[in-house]
Amino acid sequence: MSGRRLLAVFFVLLVVSMAVLVPLRLLLAVPGLPAPGWSARAVDGSAWRGTLRGLQWGGLRLDTVRVALEPLPLALGERRWAIDAPALSATWLQGRTQGLDDAVGEIAIDLPGLEAPARLGFEQTRIVFRDGRCAEAGGRMRVELPFPGPPGSDGETAADGLRLDGPIECDGARGLAVLQALSAALPPGIDAVECRLHVDAHGGVAIDTTAATEVPAARLALEGAGFEAGPGGMHRRDLLQAPH
């Protein structure tokens, strides 16, 4: 083998070894990687096998998450991050396509005014964007809310876990999941609850929750949990991450 070829092979091996050993912390210093609005208490390992500890993304609490950047999609101008958390597994897409693929599990959500964290769930959820518009969506999503009930005889308000779920689909530029609760599971005094999740190409999630009730005590409890009177009942909106 000629000296020129040996030099070329050495250069290729050097580049590969540097890529394999690139620290995850260094890669995450690049704006937009893996996504805007995130913070972590500690970052360990390489880009191909790293760990984020104390991870928060907007209002989402992911705690300890193992991440791995898949190498082959990089040649196509795409970044696919395999995400593995104690209660969630998914693939986060960036580049020509953006979004979430094959998400299974749930994560905690901190929502103001609620006595306990809510939970956002995924069932084979896929939401993919191209050119800033929703291109593919499928699977189901769910939300579990610590829903306030009317005050009891002691004046205290009880918070019951209310679970809503439904399919996700494209709705214009955004993804939309309309989540419904079973009437048998509704808290006392609440006639109906609907939750609409809007997802945009930048990872922004808006949760619009509407509760219908004619019971004054239930309306009072909802007001204490951040709901406001509006068309169709009591309403609150939560933004998990501001769109960019």
What would the pLDDT profile of 27-46 be if each residue is shown by its tens digit?
554 444 555 556 677 777 77
Average pLDDT over residues 78-97: 87
Per-residue pLDDT of 175-231, as tens digits, reads 999 999 876 778 888 899 999 999 998 878 899 999 999 999 889 889 988 899 988
The pLDDT value given to residue 35: 54
Q: How far apart are CA 133 and CA 100, in angstroms?
A: 14
Q: Is the peptide bond before 216 cis (omega within 30 degrees of 0)?
A: no
CA 35 to chain centre: 11
The pLDDT value given to residue 55: 76
The pLDDT value given to residue 10: 45
What is the bridge-based pairing of β-strands 38-39 and 118-130? unpaired
Percent of the chain with pLDDT over 70: 75
Task: Decide which of 84 and 30 is more confident.
Answer: 84
- 160: helix, strand or coil: strand
Nearest to 122 by CA among 98, 145, 90: 90
Average pLDDT over residues 158-178: 88
Does residue 20 register a pLDDT over 90?
no
Average pLDDT over residues 134-152: 84
The pLDDT value given to residue 178: 97
- 165: helix, strand or coil: strand
Residue 93 · residue 78 · CB < 8 Å: yes
Average pLDDT over residues 47-62: 74
Residue 66 · residue 87 · CB < 8 Å: no
The pLDDT value given to residue 150: 60
